[in-house]
Structure 1
Amino acid sequence: MSRRSNGLMGIWAETQRQQQRQQEARQRAAVQAQREAERQQRALERERARLDREQRQAYRQSREAEVRRRNEELDARVEALASLLATGCRAPAFGTAALARPEQVPAFSPGHLGQPVAMPDPNRYRGFGTRAQYERDRQAAQAAEAQRQQQLAAYRQQYEQWAAAQLQEIRQYNAGVGELVAALRQGDPDAVVEYFSAALYASARPDDFPHRLSAAYDPGPRQLVVDWELPGPDVVPAVKSVRYMPTADEEKETARPVTQRRAIHRDLLAQCVLLAVHELFAADEFGMLESVVLNGFVDDHDPVTGQRAQIVLASVSVARPVFAGLRLAQVSAVDCLVEGLGGQLSARPDQLAAVRPVRQPGDVGRGVVSHGGDDDPDLFEMDPIAFEALVAELFRARGMQAVMTQRSNDGGVDVEALDPDPISGGRIIVQVKRYRKTVPPTAVRDLYGTVQGAGANKGVLVTTSGFGPGSYAFANGKPLTLVSGEELVGLLQEHGLRGRLGPGSGAPGPAPDGTGVPGGDDGTGVPDGHNVLGMSWSGRVALDVCALVCTGGRVLSDDHFVFYNNPRTPDGAVRAVAPSAADKAALRVAFEALPAQADRLVLAAAIDPAVNPDADLSGFTDARIRLADAAGSELGQLEVSDGRAGETALVLGSFRKRASGDWDFVVGGKGYAGGLEALVQEFGIEVA
Structure 2
Amino acid sequence: MSRRSSGLIGIWAEAQRQQQREREARQRAEAQRQREAERQQRAYERDMARQDRERRQAYRQAREAEARRRTEALEARVAELEGLLAAGCRAPAFRSSALARPEQLEPFNPAHLGQPVPMPDPGQYRGFGGRERYEHDWHAAQAAEAGRLRQLAAYRQQYDQWAATTLAEIRQHNAGIAELLTALRAGDPEAVVEYFSAALYASEAWPEDFPHQISAAYDPGARQLVLAWELPAYDVVPAAKAVRYMPTADEERETARPAGQRRALYRDVLAQCVLLAVHEVFAADEFGALESVAVNGFVDDHDPATGRRARIVLASATVSRAGYAQLHLEQVSAVDCLTEALGGRLSARPDQLATVPPVRMPDEVGRGVVSHGGGDDPDLFEMDPIAFEALVAELFRARGMRAVTTQRSNDGGVDVEALDPDPISGGRIIVQVKRYRRTVPPTAVRDLYGTVQGAGANKGVLVTTSGFGPGSYAFANGKPLTLISGEELVELLRQHGLRGRLGGAPTDPAQAAAAAAAAAAQTPAAYNVLGMSWSGAVALDVCALVCAGHRVLGDEHFVFYNNTATPDGSVRTVAPAHPDKAALQVAFEALPAAADRLVLVAAVDPSVNPDADLSLFTDARIRLTDASGAELGQLEVSDGRPGETALVLGSFRRRDNGDWDFVIGGKGYTGGLEALLGDHGVEVA
TM-score calculated relative to the size of structure 1? 0.49
Larger of the two Rg values belongs to structure? 2
